[in-house]
C-alpha cells in the first residue's frame, strides 16, 4: 500500500518540563529541524497534519491550533488538519500524512505533534486524563477495571493520572492469567531507564536498578513511580514524500511499509487475540508483507512498564505470556534478541501526549539510519512502532501500528 511513501526528515525536541516554551515555539523548532534533515524547503510541503491533545483544555486554544502554530512556523497557504486521537494523536497524524502521499494528493506531507503539559497548575494538567474514557458511564468503566484486576482499594501514595489505575488493573489481570511478576515489570522499567542514559532527548536519564524501582513510591499495585511515564512537554515532526523525492536524499530516507489505525471490537476482556493492538498489528504486518520475526527493533507505548510487557506480546515479538520473562532474561535490551524501546520508552523518554507517536517514529528512523550512537541496535533494518491511547471496553480506545524499513 505504501510502496512509494518514504520518511525524508524527522525532528524531535528534548522532552522535559518547559512551562515557558509555547506550543508555537516548539512547533517552529521541529518544523525547521525536520526540513533541514530532509533537505527540502517549506515551499515543497503540500499539506500538514497537526497533533495536539491538551492545548484546548489547558490554554483555551480551540479549533485551529495547527493553523496558528504552523503559520508562526512560516507554513501558509496549504491544507492544515488538526488531529486529536488521545495518546495516539501523533501516530495518527503521521498515518494521515502517509495516506495523502500514497493517494497522490500531495508529493510531500508534514506531520507534527506538540504538547505543553506543564502549565504551573498540576491539578488542571492532570484533569485532562479524565476525558480519555467514557465520561457518561464512569460506573461501567469502574466495573470493567474491577473485572480485569479485582477490587483494589489501595491506590498507592500521592497523586497520579487515573490511567495509572487502568494500567494497574491491566497488569493484575495479566499477572493472574500468566504469572507475570512485579519483578518482571520492574525489569522492563530498569532496562528502559538504562537505555535513556544514552538518549540526549530523554526526560529522565538516570540508571535505576530493579530493587530501586520496586522500593520507590507505590501507586496502584503492582506499579511504582519509576514504572510510569511523567508529565512531559515536547514536540516531534516527520516529513513524508514520494519515492522520486526520496531518491535524492542519498540513502537517508526510510521507507514506510505500512501505518494502520485501529479501534476495538467486541470481545471478552481476557481475549487477547481480539485486543485492539493485536488486530491492528495483524493488519499492519499483512500490508507491509512483514512478519513479527523479521522485526529488528521496536518502540511501543509503555505509558507504564507493564504496557511494554503486554504490547511485546500483542505485536508478536514474544510469545503470549512471555513479555515479563523475556525482559528479565534480557531479550528486549539493546544487544538482546529483540530490542524494545531503545529510546528509553515513555517512562524515561517522557510522554507529551500529542507528540509521543512522532517521538517514537523519530527513534526508529534514527535506528534504521544507524545514527543512534550508544543505543544503536546493530543491523536494524525493519522497525515497528505502536502508539495507543484512551480507554474503552478493557483496552486502549485506539492503536496505531507502523512498520518502517531502512
- How deeply is 211 buried, as exposed, middle or buried, from its count of CB atoms within 10 A (0-12, 13-18, 19+)? exposed
Residue 298 contacts residue 314 (beta carbons within 8 Å)? no
| Structural contact between residues 38 and 101, judged by C-beta atoms closer than 8 angstroms | no
**Cβ(261)–Cβ(90) below 8 Å:** no
pLDDT tens per residue across span 355-389: 999 999 999 999 999 999 999 999 999 999 999 99
pLDDT digits (tens, 9 = 90+) for 16-63: 999 999 999 999 999 999 999 999 999 999 999 999 999 999 999 999
Contact between 290 and 149 under an 8 Å Cβ cutoff? The reply is no
State the alpha helices, DSSP H only, in 54-121.
55-59, 65-72, 89-102
Contact status, residue 134 vs residue 74, Cβ threshold 8 Å: no
Distances (CA, A) of 157 to 169, 173, 175, 204, 390: 17, 22, 22, 21, 23
Rounded Cα distance between 262 and 288, Å, is 16
**Within 10 Å of residue 373's Cβ, how many Cβ atoms?**
10
Supply 208's cell numbers. 535505576
Which amino acids are annotated catalytic? 87, 351
CATH number of 5-120+232-256: 3.40.47.10
The one-digit pLDDT tens for each residue of the chain (406 residues) are 688 999 999 999 999 999 999 999 999 999 999 999 999 999 999 999 999 999 999 999 999 999 999 999 999 999 999 999 999 999 999 999 999 999 999 999 999 999 999 999 999 998 899 899 999 999 998 998 888 888 876 677 767 888 888 999 999 999 999 999 999 999 999 999 999 999 999 999 999 999 999 999 999 899 999 999 999 999 999 999 999 999 887 668 999 999 999 999 999 999 999 999 999 999 999 999 999 999 999 999 999 999 999 999 999 999 999 999 999 999 999 999 999 999 999 999 999 999 999 999 999 999 999 999 999 999 999 999 999 999 999 999 999 999 999 9
Measure Cα distances from 259 to 282, 403, 404 in Å: 11, 6, 9
E strands in 125-277: 234-242, 254-262
CATH of 129-229+258-401, one of 3.40.640.10, 3.40.47.10, 1.10.3470.10, 3.30.990.10: 3.40.47.10
As annotated, the residues of the chain forming the CATH 3.40.47.10 domain(s) are: 5-120+232-256, 129-229+258-401
Distances (CA, A) of 83 to 139, 228, 241, 338: 29, 25, 20, 32
| Cβ–Cβ under 8 Å, residues 192 and 303 | no
pLDDT for position 41: 95
Pairwise CA distance, residues 404 & 72, whole Å: 31
CB 92 within 8 A of CB 83: yes
Amino acid at each position: 500500500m505504501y510502496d512509494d511513501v518514504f520518511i525524508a526528515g524527522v525532528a524531535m525536541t528534548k522532552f522535559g518540563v518547559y512551562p515557558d516554551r509555547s506550543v508555537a515555539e516548539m512547533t517552529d523548532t521541529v518544523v525547521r529541524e525536520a526540513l533541514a534533515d530532509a533537505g527540502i524547503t517549506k515551499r515543497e510541503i503540500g499539506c500538514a497534519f497537526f497533533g495536539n491533545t491538551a492545548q484546548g483544555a489547558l490554554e483555551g486554544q480551540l479549533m485551529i491550533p495547527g493553523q496558528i502554530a504552523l503559520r508562526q512556523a512560516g507554513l501558509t497557504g496549504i491544507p492544515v488538519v488538526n488531529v486529536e486521537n488521545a495518546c495516539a494523536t501523533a501516530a495518527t497524524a503521521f498515518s494521515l500524512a502517509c495516506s495523502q502521499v500514497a493517494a497522490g494528493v500531495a508529493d510531500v506531507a508534514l506531520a507534527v505533534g506538540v504538547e505543553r503539559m506543564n502549565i504551573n497548575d498540576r491539578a488542571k494538567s492532570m484533569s485532562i486524563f479524565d476525558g480519555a474514557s467514557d465520561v457518561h458511564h464512569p460506573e461501567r468503566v469502574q466495573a470493567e477495571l474491577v473485572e480485569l484486576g479485582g477490587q483494589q482499594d489501595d491506590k498507592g501514595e500521592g497523586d497520579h493520572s487515573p490511567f495509572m489505575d487502568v494500567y494497574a488493573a491491566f497488569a493484575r489481570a495479566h499477572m493472574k492469567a500468566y504469572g507475570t511478576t512485579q519483578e518482571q515489570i520492574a525489569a522492563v522499567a530498569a532496562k528502559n531507564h538504562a537505555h535513556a542514559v544514552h538518549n540526549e532527548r530523554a526526560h529522565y536519564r538516570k540508571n535505576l536498578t530493579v530493587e530501586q524501582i520496586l522500593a520507590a513510591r507505590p501507586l496502584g499495585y503492582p506499579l511504582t513511580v519509576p514504572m510510569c511515564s511523567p508529565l512531559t512537554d515536547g514536540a516531534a515532526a516527520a516529513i513524508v514524500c514520494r519515492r522520486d523525492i526520496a531518491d535524492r536524499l542519498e540513502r537517508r530516507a526510510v521507507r514506510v511499509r505500512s501505518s494502520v489505525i485501529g479501534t476495538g471490537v467486541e470481545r471478552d476482556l481476557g481475549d487477547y487475540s481480539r485486543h485492539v493492538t493485536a488486530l491492528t498489528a495483524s493488519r499492519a504486518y499483512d500490508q507491509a508483507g512483514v512478519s513479527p520475526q523479521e522485526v529488528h527493533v521496536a518502540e511501543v507505548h509503555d505509558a507504564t512498564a507493564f504496557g511494554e510487557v503486554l504490547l511485546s506480546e500483542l505485536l508478536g515479538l514474544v510469545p503470549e505470556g512471555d513479555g515479563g520473562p523475556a525482559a528479565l532474561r534480557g531479550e528486549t535490551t539493546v544487544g538482546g534478541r529483540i530490542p524494545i524501546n531503545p529510546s528509553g520508552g515513555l517512562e524515561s523518554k517522557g510522554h507529551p501526549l500529542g507528540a509521543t507517536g512522532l517521538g517514537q517514529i523519530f527513534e526508529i528512523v534514527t535506528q534504521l539510519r544507524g545514527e543512534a550512537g550508544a543505543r544503536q541496535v546493530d543491523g536494524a533494518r525493519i522497525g515497528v512502532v505502536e502508539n495507543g491511547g484512551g480507554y474503552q471496553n478493557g483496552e486502549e480506545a485506539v492503536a496505531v501500528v507502523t512498520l518502517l524499513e531502512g
